[in-house]
Structures are given as C-alpha cells and as structure tokens.
Chains A and B, each alone.
Chain A
Amino acid sequence: GQQLNQSPQSMFIQEGEDVSMNCTSSSIFNTWLWYKQDPGEGPVLLIALYKAGELTSNGRLTAQFGITRKDSFLNISASIPSDVGIYFCAGQLSEKLVFGKGTKLTVNP
C-alpha cells in the first residue's frame, strides 16, 4: 500500500527557532495536507496543497508541494511554546487519505 515517510520523528527546539519537517513517498499524490494534533484531540488541518510546486503560507507556517508530487515540507518560523504537538503529513489520491507517522515537536521556553 501507499506509505509516507515523515522525518524527523521528533524535534526538541528552543523558543524562537525555526523548524523544518518533510514527507516523502514512492507514490504520487494529488493533494498534500499538513495537520497538527494536540494531546487528547483529533488532528486539525494547518495547510492544504493542491498543485505540484505550490508554496503556501499560513501565518508562521509555510508548506510546499514537491515538483515530483512525491514529497512535501512544512516550515515553522520563530517557534513559540504553543507550537508543541504532533505534526502529520497526509497525501490524498482519489478517495484515500494516507498519513505519515508524525513529527513530535517540543519547544523549550
């Protein structure tokens, strides 16, 4: 089946630092999505990407849809304590939505 390789698995950073995480796949996707999950909650959508090469920002978050349609990255600039959580990438092809294993982000004040 389709698999997404998300890295890194975890990150420990200082408040104010920038963060970068990425997802790669052996399959092509039509849509890339980035979600954040807080403890005890469901994932919440951060950014959606629909076109190869697309670069989209949402506040301090920036994500790009790779040219090959097999990868995507998410950057967070000037991290703050509330950025703590697990970030998931997801790729959509037709009706199926496939998730990576997540990047756990810890921000030290």
Chain B
Amino acid sequence: NAGVTQTPKFRILKIGQSMTLQCTQDMNHNYMYWYRQDPGMGLKLIYYSVGAGITDKGEVPNGYNVSRSTTEDFPLRLELAAPSQTSVYFCASSRPGQGLTEAFFGQGTRLTVV
C-alpha cells in the first residue's frame, strides 16, 4: 500500500495565482484532513472530511477550499495565493472505529508564495 500520497512535493507560486494540492489515500479511510505547518509551530487544521461529499472547516480555513467527491481523494484549492500561505501542507487520513483513530500523514507539500 502507498498510504497517503501528496503531490506536488514542492511548488513556488506568485501572488494571486491559484493551485490545487492533491492528496489521495489507498487505505479506504473515511476521515481525511488538511493541515498547515509553519516554522516552529504545530499543525493547524485547515479543513477536514468525514466521508465523500462531506467537508467541514477547521481552525484556519480562510483562503482555501476543498472537495471530497471520492473516498480516496481530498484536494485542497488555493484560489488567490498570498504570502501568508507560504507553509508546509500535510494531508492525513484515518478510519475511526472502536477508538482506532490513528491518522496517517503524507510527506507534505512545501509551498512558497512570492
């Protein structure tokens, strides 16, 4: 199994450009998450999804959009990139049940907005 796969690994965007960060998982997990990690900080939840067709805002959703058309995929969209969105983005998935809520992470997408 590949687990959680994120693409691209690195990207440089100009202010105002848009892009989609891709995330796919092959573990048939219901829950998927997008986090951003800034230097010296923990992971902040951007959006999450408890299943296909269902998405909810996390702690820092402004400037981002998500969709969940399938169980496997959970893309994150930046419409108008801003320097404040320079960060490392992590996608994660989990399959809660009987307390089994361990989240597995992708390797991250390092985004720089200039």
Interface size grouping (class) on chain A: 20 to 34
Min CB–CB distance A1 → chain B (angstroms): 6
B99 CB–A CB distance under 8 Å: yes
In the A-B complex, the 7 residue pairs with the smallest Cβ-Cβ separation, listed nearest first, are: A42-B105, A50-B99, A101-B42, A99-B42, A99-B43, A92-B101, A31-B101
Residues of B within 8 A of A4 (CB): 42
Query: When A88-B42, A88-B43 are in contact, do A97 and B103 touch as well, CB less than 8 Å?
Result: yes
B73-108 vs A, CB cutoff 8 Å, 1 = contact: the mask equals 000000000000000001010101001111111111
Q: Which residues of A contact B (CB under 8 A)?
A: 1, 4, 6, 30-31, 33, 35, 40-45, 48, 50, 88, 90, 92, 95-102
- Total B residues in contact with A, Cβ cutoff 8 Å: 29
Is the pair A96, B101 in contact by a Cβ cutoff of 8 Å? no
Residues of A within 8 A of B44 (CB): 99
| 13 A–B contacts from the bound complex (CB under 8 Å) | A1-B59, A6-B42, A30-B99, A31-B101, A43-B90, A44-B105, A48-B100, A88-B42, A88-B43, A95-B56, A97-B94, A99-B44, A102-B41
CA distance in complex: A76, B41 (Å) = 22
Known contacts A42-B107, A95-B56, A97-B92, then 10 further A-B pairs from the complex at CB < 8 Å, ordered by chain A residue: A1-B59, A30-B99, A30-B101, A35-B105, A43-B43, A45-B102, A48-B100, A48-B101, A95-B48, A97-B94
Residues of B within 8 A of A6 (CB): 42
B113 CB–A CB distance under 8 Å: no
CA distance in complex: A98, B48 (Å) = 12
From B4, B48, B94, B103, residue with most partner A Cβ within 10 Å: B103
